[in-house]
Structures are given as structure tokens and as C-alpha cells.
Structure 1
Amino acid sequence: MHLKPQLLRGLALGAVLLGVAAPHAQAQTPDRKTALSGNVGLLQYHGNMGSDFWNRSGVDIEVGGGGAISRYLSPSWDAALLGYYETYKFSSQVRAGDNFEARVGMVDLGFKLKLNNGKILKEESRIQPYLMAGPGMFLSNTSGRANGKDFGVTQIRRPELFGLAGIRLRLSDVVSLDLTTSQHYPLTERVDNLYGSPNDKLYDRFLLHQAGITVALGQAKDEDSDGVSDKKDKCPGTPKGVAVDPNGCPLDKDGDGIPDYQDKCPDVKGVAALQGCPDRDGDGVTDADDKCPDTPGKAELQGCPDADNDGVIDQNDKCPDTPAGVKVDANGCPLDRDGDGVPDYQDRCPDRAGPASNKGCPEVKAETKKRLKEATKYINFEFNKAVLLPSSYPTLKDLAAIMAEYPDYTLSIAGHTDSKGDDNYNLRLSDARAASARAYMLSQAVPADRIVSHGFGETKPIADNATKAGQALNRRVEFDLYLTGDPNAAEVKYGPAPTISELQKTPAGRPTAGKAPVKKAPAKKAPAKKAPVKRK
């Protein structure tokens, strides 16, 4: 008996066409128990010549086809008759030159275990995994070369066993897509014409991967499309999409006469005027929506009161007297992002922790204060000019690093001179030197709005100008950090910086604590004219 591949191909094609041409078919259910499938597939071989399981690299791809007819038995079980045909070619991985070509047909009886049985997944689930197994017949005409010798057509007609795992994707109420992988174990070793394996083990077996379309035959009448056939439906006019009981009637779990799809409180008896819901506290919010059903409250807060209007209901508000407009957390307390105990609305540095004594900002370390104090010793200028000497650069770079470390602080730069020479010239020179230091720090990427420079001239000596040592100490540039928004640190120490007009109004040109407008000094150039006496 010769295998007739044309017949098997025809059966497979017919199954596909039948599935496509069934416009009135529905998904397979107890009312529509018979289904037809058409599939395309791909075989993979494992035997004495080698294996291409899960790997078809280097192997000619041959696509086959098949079909199936299945019958609904119960929510968990179906029975199916399956057929498949493919021409398969394989070249040996064990002995060069060995190969075979097999025209393979398989006819199997399978029993399907469905996981969408109402216990694991709903029967109407869109994704429907299943398992199948059963016996069948393996039919093959094989020819090729084995052990270096050609062999002619060998006919094989042997029983087989198979196991299958699949998943069905319900595309619509009419069509489903099936994706399956099965292993077929024919009770023969002659497919590759190599046999006599150790322990008489039967090596020849196949994997079969298939994709196909499945449709069910027949149609149950269901005018209201509620999933309950008219012959079982006691409420045939149910609106589309409404959940129904097994009799096809809208669900009414609380038994108040209002169907669940119209009942806003389907688990509690209510009245029709409130769409099936009660309202114990009479605040116009039904109990189902009222988080405080025994206390009148606001509709926007689901029926709960909120005395401080911060959006957190009183019963959950741990800070009931929060000032108006302050952002709060879920407990109704002012936000404290950095967790330092100072609420954000009072915290000058809400993203960096610091003590309340420093307005919630990190305090300047003692070591940093020391670096700032000592920096004045290392800031030097060209004689009688506002031009920085290169020896000043490392110190100014260090100060720029401090500014990066303390982003919530502003730096005050105050220039001072000794008392030699003209008072106005000294004031200009001190201001230009402070501005020069500021300009260099701006070049180190310190933001301009975080550096303020002032010149105090000779008005704030820290030593006796009668001696050269005292004069040297008085010629200085001082650096002070202060929280941005606080008074300027230099002006806290010395008062406002003087102006030239103020110097002129002061007896002997020596102002003490006169007040002048606060000035943020930009980077300035040193005066073009030199003082008559060169001694700075």
C-alpha cells in the first residue's frame, strides 16, 4: 500500500476552507459541540542520524498541513481526530553523506484537557491553554542513504503515541487561533533506516509545531446576547453587557428589587430614589460612597468633614490645624521632604536636612569656617592694583568647591585696605579687589546670584595702621558664608559698606558706621588711574 500525499493535502486544505467559510459558526460550547480546524505545521526529527529539535539551522524548511475535528464532551474534556502530512528531509549529523526524505502522515485520536473549564479559567476566557494525548497511526514512505548505503522507498505503517501542549486564542465569537507543540513517538526505528540501537530503544520521534484556525459548527439562538440561550433564558430582553444569572436574568445580589446594573449599592438594600443606596447621615452622599456614613461631611471628600480644609478628612488628620494653603502628606501634616523635622513651608532648605536652629538648612562645618577664615591670608594682588596674583587661584578654587558643597548659601566678599593714601582711592581699590575675586569665582561656575562683593576701604581696620605689620593685616579680602536670604554677613559684622559721597561728608574722611545702600558688586576692573602715591 502506497501513501497518497495528494489525499492528505486535500483533507488539510478542505479543513482550512471549511473553517473560513463558516460565517454562522460560534466558539465551541455545550450548544455547539463540534469544531473543525485547519493547520500549517513544521516537523522536527530526533533519531540515530541526529536531531534538529528546537533548532532548524542548516535544515531545509518544509511546511506541512493538517486538519482536525473535535467534539465537546464536558467543560474539562474534548475528543479530537487529527491528521497531518509533511515531506521531511534530514541530513545526518553523525555520518557525512547519510540522509533521508520521508513523506510523513499521522492520524491520531486525542483527548484534550481544557484549563478554561470554569475551575481554573472561565470557559469564555480569551486565552485557553490545554493539554492533549492519545494513540494514533504513523504512516511514512522513506528513502535515502544510511551507513553509507542508499536505500529505496521504505513503507512504514506503525502505531504511535503523542502528547501535545497548546493554547487557543479566541479572536471572536466565531474564530479561534490555535498554537500547539506535540511530540510523536512512532513505534518504529526505521524512519531513518537505522536500527539495532542499544537496549532495543526506539529512537525515531518527532516534534510537530502547528498554527491553525478553529471554528465551531452550529448556532444557539440568543436574542439578547447574554450568553444564555433563549431556551434557558427567563429574561430574554436583558440589555447587552448586563451580568446575568444562570436563568438569564439581571443579577440582584441584595434582593432589593433593583438589578445590579442599575444598583449603585448592589450588596446593600436601598431605595430606588438613591439608586438602591442608603444615606444614614443625610449629607446627600450615599452610604456606599460615604467614608463617614454617620457624620455629615463634604461630597468632594466622600461625605467626611475637613475642619482645616487641607484635603485630609478629620478622622485621618494628625495635624488638624494646618495653616491654609500649606501642602500636606497623607496624614494631613505639613510636608517635610528632607525629614529634618522642619516642615517644608518653614524650611529654607526643604531638600537638604538641617536643624531648626538653622532654619532647616545644613550648618557650615567648623572645618569649612576655618578654611573661609584662613582664605584671606592667601589672596594677593599686584602692587596697588586689583589684579589677582596666580598664587590666589588655588584658594579661590577651594572656595568655589565650598560653594558647590553648600548650595543654599551665599558668599560675601569684603575688600579692605590700610589707611595710607586718599580715602576715596582706597575705597575704590578695595571694592575692585573684592570684585576681582568675585569675577574669578564666577569663572569657576559659581552662580552670580550667590556671590556679593563690597569694598570697605580703610574704614574697618583689624590692626593698628601706625605699624607696617598692622597695615599688612588691614590689607585683606574676607570671605563669609550666610544663608541665602539672610542679611549680608559682612554688613552684619561691619555695617553697610560706605560710599565715596559718604566719606566726603564725614569729618577727616573717616566714617565709622554710616549707612549706605546695599550693593551687589559685579566683576569690576581696577581703576584706570593709579593713586598719586604707590604704596598698596
Structure 2
Amino acid sequence: MKHLSKVLFATLFVLGFSVAQAQDENNPWAIGVGVNAVDYFSAGEDQGPLGSYFQEFFNVEDHWNILPSISRISVGRYIGNGFSATAVGTINQIDRIGDVEVGDLAYYGIDGMLSYSLRNVLNGPGGWADPYVGIGGGYTWLEESNNAALPDNFSNDDGDLGTVGVGTGNVTAGLNFWISENLAINAASTYKHVFEDAYGAQHFQHSLGVVFTFGGKDTDGDGIYDDQDECPETPGLAEFNGCPDTDSDGIEDRKDDCPNVAGTAEFNGCPDTDGDGIPDPKDDCPTVAGIQALNGCPDADGDGIKDSEDNCPNEAGPASNNGCPFEDKDGDGVLDKDDQCPDVAGTVANNGCPEVTVEVMNELNEYSRTILFDLNKSTIRSESFETLQNIADIMSEYPTAKFHIEGHTDSQGSEAYNEKLSRERAASVRTYLTTKGVAANKLTSEGYGELRPIATNKTAAGRQQNRRVEIKLEKDRK
């Protein structure tokens, strides 16, 4: 338990320090574990059983005291400009001091060190070899056990044997061999100079272990530390200094005009789907090869009008005629570009459409006056269906003409009743004609009752003439 308490004390002391070797701003913290060896002989100044400085420095078998287990722990933090501060705790078992066998003495050490990395000086940033030097100080204890005694020149203040402790001044030389970004194999030798001759002796302490660095800030988690990441809040790639290439086209998003669609360097990361040499964002027709003059759209007939806006894409024509050549297919003297009825001969006055003549209107009314309805109803009798079909056929020959259908009655019955009946009969004729292909917007209807007689209502023959349907041109109605 006595040994354990000292180990715990050393560990807590180490964890209270900040330090590491050859770490940097990206990974400022470091933890190291390993084994240590203590050699009194090679630093003995030719005293008694001790040799001179560096004598038999590598005589591991005869002079090194090694505890075959984890016996060294360090914690450190990078300070800046190559400097680090390190705290180290060690334990060991001393069975020889120089050439003297001492049995089994417990060794404890707590040390602090300021070190300077030569990594950048010798091989530049990122080199695997990282030598360093350091200075510092610490405190070392030796403690008797049941089967060992301290040498005569080791004593406490009372002159009694037992446990002695002494402060030391330390000089260190070491090497970190970096096998990955965060992991290194560490080897070091520290010369510990005892300040009080009465307690202990100068010695070397060698160590071998591993160092793990950590603590770098990587906000976006892309493995590239923020201070080297040009896009620290967006995951990216090392080849672009931490910036993303969303579409994986080899062009980083910051320089990619189309970051979400794979493209080529020629077009700053944008694609040219139709291969016409015009990138898609500037191509009004990105899926069809076209020409530069029309922003990537084709012009099959070469008339300078892109096909999508050319009414005659395979025949050259002027823009004033929507890309079509000037024609007069119906031969009515009105060019197709101005002809509202290009497939039917008409008149210039009626914009190329046929005009309804008086003769045509007379023909329509000859038919309309023969339309029969059920008694006192607006229902058209079936024997009038053929007549109505003839009316529809004539109206269809005049695409731009609009017709007004009038309903009339004789004077029998009340005026209100006659007006209602005439209106319903006119509407019934209009509805029927729309079912035969006449556009509804070409037809209007109204009922005039007994107000517009064309014969006397005093005779049966006159009343028969007054019960009628008439058709007029909309423009001529009064």
C-alpha cells in the first residue's frame, strides 16, 4: 500500500501538468506510456563503484535497472513555436547502483520538462523523425525494502536508513518516430543531477514508449483540423484543403459553377449535355445541340430563328412571319401571315376570311323559319333536325362570323308569356347548333315575343308567319 500511494501521487502530479513532445496547434495534448531504465554507473564521476560520465553508457546488462512493466507515464501540452511542456512520473526497482548489488530498492520520480522540437529545423513539417532537447527538474525517492538497504552515502536527515528523496536538475535528449499523424514511438535519455551529495547520486534515466497526441479542433469532422481547413464548417477533402466537391467532378465547390452536377474543368464544373460547346447553364436548349448565336438552340432551316419559336422550323422564313415563308395557300390575295383563315378563300376586307353575303343570310333564314317546336314549348321537333344541320354546315363555312338567333311569336296570349317562350325557343336553337360543331362564342340568342311581327296577327296565315326563328349577323343586329 505504501508503494501504491506514491504511484497514485505521482500520477495525480503528472495529470496536473500540461505538455507533449512534437505535437502542434492541431493536436496540442499528448499522453505517453512506456518503460524506463535507471543507470548510476555512467554518471558517477569516478566515485567508488561508479564509473565516469558516459562510461559503458550502453551496458544494459551490467548497469541498467529496468522494471519489466509499464513504468513511465507522461502528459503534455504544446506551447507554441516548437516548445512543449512535459510532466513525467516514473517508478522502478533498483538492484544495482554502479557495480554494487543493493538488492531491491523502490525508485520513484516526478519530473517537469520544457522541450524544444527540432523536427521542422531538420526535415520540415510532417517529417517522421522528430528529435528534441529539453531541460527541467524534478524529485526522486529511493526506499528500502525488506531485503535491501540503501548504500552508505544515502541517508535521511536523521542519518537513518529508510527513504530518501532529493531534487534534481535534468537535461533530456529524445526522439519521436511518428508512425501516424497522432502516434509516435518515443525514446529518450535524461541526465539527472542531484543537488545534495548526501542524498543519492547523479544518474541517467532512459525510456522507451509510445506517445499519442490529441485535442485538435475539427468542427466539420472531415479529418482536417480547422486551422488547416479552408472550409471548417463544411466536410470536405484533403486535396481541397478541407473544402467539398459535392458532385465529385474533381472541381471543388468554391470554384465550381455547377457544384451539384458533375461537369468539366473547361466549363468551370458545369456539364454540356448536348455537346454543342455551350455549358448547360448558358444553354437555352441544353439537351439539343445548337449554335452559339441562339444560346445553344438549333435552327434547322438557318433562318436565324430557333426551332422552338419557328412556326416553320424546316422552311426558312422571316421573323415577321414567325419563321415561315410568305405564302397564300388559299389564293385569296391575303398572305398566310396575315390571313385569319389561311385554308379558306376570303376577302382582303375580312382579313382573308370569307364574308357572309346577303344571299347566304337569306338562305339561313329560309331554313330557320321552317323550324318547328312542340305546342307552347321550346322543344324542337325531330323533323327540323335536318334543317338545323344545314344551318350548322353553312355557319361553319364562315370561321370569323358571329350570328344572332332571334325568337318571335304572334300576339295570342300574354305579352310576358310570349316573350318567355320566344326567348326559350331561340336559346334551344342555339344550344342545338353548338352540338353540331358551331362554336358557342359565335352564337347569341334573344327572344322578342310579339314585338316584331312581319305580318298581321288578325289572320291565321299572318300569325303563322309571325311564329318564327330568324338569324342575323351579329354586326348587323339592332
- With normalisation by structure 2, the TM-score equals 0.40
